[in-house]
Amino acid sequence: NAGVTQTPKFRVLKTGQSMTLLCAQDMNHEYMYWYRQDPGMGLRLIHYSVGEGTTAKGEVPDGYNVSRLKKQNFLLGLESAAPSQTSVYFCASTDPSSGRETQYFGPGTRLLVL
Amino acid sequence: AQSVSQHNHHVILSEAASLELGCNYSYGGTVNLFWYVQYPGQHLQLLLKYFSGDPLVKGIKGFEAEFIKSKFSFNLRKPSVQWSDTAEYFCAVTSYSGGGADGLTFGKGTHLIIQP
């Protein structure tokens, strides 16, 4: 099993450009999450999904959109990138069926917005 | 809303020293508690977790943590640190009743540096 994978690993954007970050998991997990990590801020939840076709806002959703068209994939979109979105983005997934959820994280995507 | 506070943002220790990293959370209900570690250039890895039962939990690499409900604390400990423990450590909480649907709330992290 590859676990949680993220594409791309690193990207540089200019202000106003758009891009999509892809998260894929092969563990058949129901729940998926997008976090951003900034120095001194820890990780903050952007959006999450509790199943295929569902999404919900987290703590810092502004400027991002998400889609969960397939259970194994969770896409994070930036329609018009801003320098404030320079960050490291982590995807995670978990299986809630056991009632003892542990989130598994991907390797991260480092995004620089100029 | 729940929140997590990690008291030490930067800790520098010598090898073989003992380690204790503080973590306090605020949430009125039942919680699940986690410690994650992020080694330089790597993604987050689970060190240990507490859901219920024995409040002293043991994790990987010799780490342990104690859940003290009355103090809303979940401090991480290791009796003797190694240079390879240099990393960023995050305490996190999720509400038990939420089933994990609402994601993890993280502390801001503690940057641990072990000097040889």
Over residues B67-87, the pLDDT tens digits come to 999 999 999 999 999 999 999
* Local confidence pLDDT in tens for the 114 residues of chain A: 679 999 999 999 999 999 999 999 999 999 999 999 998 888 999 999 989 999 999 989 999 999 999 999 999 999 999 999 999 999 999 887 755 568 889 999 999 999
Instruction: Please check whether residue A106 touches B, CB under 8 A.
Output: yes
CB contact under 8 A, B100 and A45: no
AA letter at A82: A
Q: Are A88 and A37 in contact (CB under 8 A)?
A: yes
| Average pLDDT of chain B, as a whole number | 90
Question: What is the three-class DSSP state of A96?
Answer: helix
Condensed to tens digits (0 to 9), the pLDDT of residues B38-50 reads 998 888 999 999 9
Q: By the 8 A CB rule, do B64 and B56 touch?
A: yes
Query: What gap in Å lies between CA B10 and CA B111, rounded to an integer?
Result: 5
Q: Count H helices, E strands: chain A? A: 0, 11
Enumerate the residues of chain A whose CB falls inside 8 A of the CB of residue B90: 42-43
Could you give the percent of chain B with pLDDT greater than 70? 93
